[in-house]
Amino acid sequence: MKKGIALGLIMGLSVAAAMTVSAEEQVTLTFAETMTSPERTLVLEQTIADFEAEHPNITVELVSPPYESAETKVASMLAAGQEVDIVEIRDNSVGAWINNDFLYKLDDMVAAWDGKDELVDAALLAGSSIGDATYFVPQYLYVKALMVRTDVLEKLGVTEMPKTTDEFLEICKQITDPASGQYAFALRGTGSPCKTVDVMWATEVPGISTDNIYLTEDGTFFMDTDGARKAMQDYYELYTECCPEDAVNWGYNEQINGFVSGTTPFLIQDPDAVGSVSGSLEPDQYTAIPIPLGASGKRYLDYGYAGLAVAANSEHPEEAFEFIKYMISAEVNATICEFYGALPVNQGAYEASEMFELPVYKAWAEEMSDPDTVFTKFPLEDPRFAEYSSTVHLAAIQSFLLGQSDAEEMIKTCKEYWGY
Amino acid sequence: MKKDKWYLLMILPAIAFICFFIFYPLFKGGLMAFQNYSLFNLKDIRFIGLENIKAILFSKAVSFRLILLNTVKWLVLSLVFQFLLGFTLALLLRKPFKGRSVYCGFVFYPWALCGFAIGLIWSWLFNGQLGVINDLLMKVGLIKENIGWLSNPKIAMYSVVIANVWYGIPYFGIMLLAALQSVPNELYESATIDGSNKIQQLFYVTIPYIKPTIVSTVLLRSMWIVNFPDLIYGMTNGGPVNSTHILGTMMINKVYKEFDYGQGSAYGVIIMGLLLIYAVIYLRITRSSEGDM
Q: Looking at the complex, report in whole angstroms how far the Cα of residue B116 sits from the nearest Cα belonging to chain A.
A: 11
Which residue in chain B is spatially nearest to A396 when comparing CA positions?
B241
CATH class of domain segment(s) A2-142+304-360: alpha beta
Instruction: Among B39, B146, B150, select the one facing A72 at the smallest CB separation.
Output: B39
> Which of B130, B138, B232, B241 to mutate against chain A (most A CBs within 10 Å)?
B241
User: Inter-chain contact B151–A248, Cβ cutoff 8 Å?
Assistant: yes
pLDDT tens digit string along A220-267?
Answer: 999 999 999 999 999 999 999 999 999 999 999 899 999 999 999 999
On whether residue B245 sits in a domain, the answer given is yes
In this structure, the number of other CB atoms found within 10 A of the CB of residue A225 comes to 20
pLDDT at A19: 47
- Residue type (1 letter), B238: G
pLDDT at A29: 96
> What are the C-alpha distances in Å from A290 to residues A145, A173, A371, A374, A419?
5, 20, 12, 12, 32
d(CA A121, CA A118): 9
pLDDT at A354: 85
Instruction: Among B61, B146, B150, select the one facing A387 at the smallest CB separation.
Output: B61
pLDDT at A6: 54
On whether residue B186 sits in a domain, the answer given is yes
Which residue in chain B is spatially nearest to A247 when comparing CA positions?
B151
Spell out where A234-362 has E strands.
266-269, 287-289, 299-302, 304-310, 343-344
Confidence of residue A130 (pLDDT cuts 50, 70, 90): confident
pLDDT at A340: 77
User: Inter-chain contact A258–B255, Cβ cutoff 8 Å?
Assistant: no
Cis peptide bond prior to A178, omega within 30° of 0: no
In this structure, the number of other CB atoms found within 10 A of the CB of residue A115 comes to 15
CB pairs < 8 Å spanning A and B? 114
Q: Which residues of chain B have pLDDT under 50?
A: 293
Confidence of residue A10 (pLDDT cuts 50, 70, 90): low
Cβ atoms of residues A141 and A303 within 8 Å:
yes
On whether residue B52 sits in a domain, the answer given is no
User: Inter-chain contact B129–A101, Cβ cutoff 8 Å?
Assistant: no
Mean pLDDT rounded to a whole number for chain B: 91
Instruction: Among B43, B146, B151, select the one facing A249 at the smallest CB separation.
Output: B151
pLDDT at A361: 86
User: Inter-chain contact A246–B257, Cβ cutoff 8 Å?
Assistant: no
User: Inter-chain contact A68–B43, Cβ cutoff 8 Å?
Assistant: no
The CATH code of the domain that includes B232 is 1.10.3720.10
3-state secondary structure (DSSP) of residue A86: strand
On whether residue B223 sits in a domain, the answer given is yes
Q: By C-alpha distance, which of A400, A277, A310, A328 is closest to A123?
A: A328
pLDDT at A21: 43
> Would you identify the CATH topology of the domain A145-302+382-418?
D-Maltodextrin-Binding Protein; domain 2 (3.40.190)
On whether residue B94 sits in a domain, the answer given is yes
Interface of A with B (CB under 8 A): 68-69, 71-72, 75, 79, 93, 95-96, 99-101, 181, 189-191, 244-249, 251, 254, 257-258, 261, 263, 383, 386-387, 390-392, 394-395, 398-399, 402, 404, 416-417
Q: Look at A420 and B202; give whichever has higher pLDDT.
A: B202
Which residue in chain A is spatially nearest to B148 when comparing CA positions?
A246
User: Inter-chain contact B43–A181, Cβ cutoff 8 Å?
Assistant: no
> Which of A68, A97, A249 to mutate against chain B (most B CBs within 10 Å)?
A249
On whether residue B179 sits in a domain, the answer given is yes
DSSP 8-state secondary structure symbol assigned to residue A294:
-
Angle made by CA atoms B262, B268, B274, in degrees to the nearest 5: 135
Tell me how many domains chain B contains: 1
User: Inter-chain contact A245–B148, Cβ cutoff 8 Å?
Assistant: yes
pLDDT tens digit string along B75-104?
Answer: 999 999 999 999 999 999 988 888 888 888
Instruction: Among A71, A100, A249, select the one facing B239 at the smallest CB separation.
Output: A249
pLDDT at A117: 87
Cβ atoms of residues B263 and B55 within 8 Å:
yes
**Percent of chain A beyond pLDDT 90?**
62
B258–chain A Cβ distance below 8 A for any pair = yes
Cβ atoms of residues B169 and B82 within 8 Å:
yes
pLDDT at A326: 96
On whether residue B105 sits in a domain, the answer given is yes
| Average pLDDT for A405-418 | 96
Which residue in chain A is spatially nearest to B244 when comparing CA positions?
A395
User: Would you give the distance in Å from CA B69 to the centre of its chain?
Assistant: 16
pLDDT at B291: 54
DSSP-based helix, strand, coil % in chain B, nearest 5: 75, 0, 25
On whether residue B121 sits in a domain, the answer given is no
pLDDT at B3: 63
B25–chain A Cβ distance below 8 A for any pair = no
d(CA A367, CA A301): 10
User: Inter-chain contact B129–A181, Cβ cutoff 8 Å?
Assistant: yes
**Distance from first CA to last CA of chain B, Å, rounded?**
45
Tell me which chain A residues have a C-beta less than 8 angstroms from the C-beta of B130.
257, 261, 263
Confidence of residue A9 (pLDDT cuts 50, 70, 90): low
Q: Where in chain A is the domain with CATH 3.40.190.10?
A: 2-142+304-360, 145-302+382-418
Q: Looking at the complex, report in whole angstroms how far the Cα of residue B100 sits from the nearest Cα belonging to chain A.
A: 38
Q: Which domain holds residue B238?
A: 62-115+152-292
Ranges A61-70, A135-144, A389-398, B53-62: which has the least confidence: A61-70
pLDDT at A17: 45
Q: Looking at the complex, report in whole angstroms how far the Cα of residue A312 sits from the nearest Cα belonging to chain B.
A: 15
Mean pLDDT rounded to a whole number for chain A: 89
> Which of A391, A400, A415 to mutate against chain B (most B CBs within 10 Å)?
A391
Q: Looking at the complex, report in whole angstroms how far the Cα of residue A246 sits from the nearest Cα belonging to chain B.
A: 5
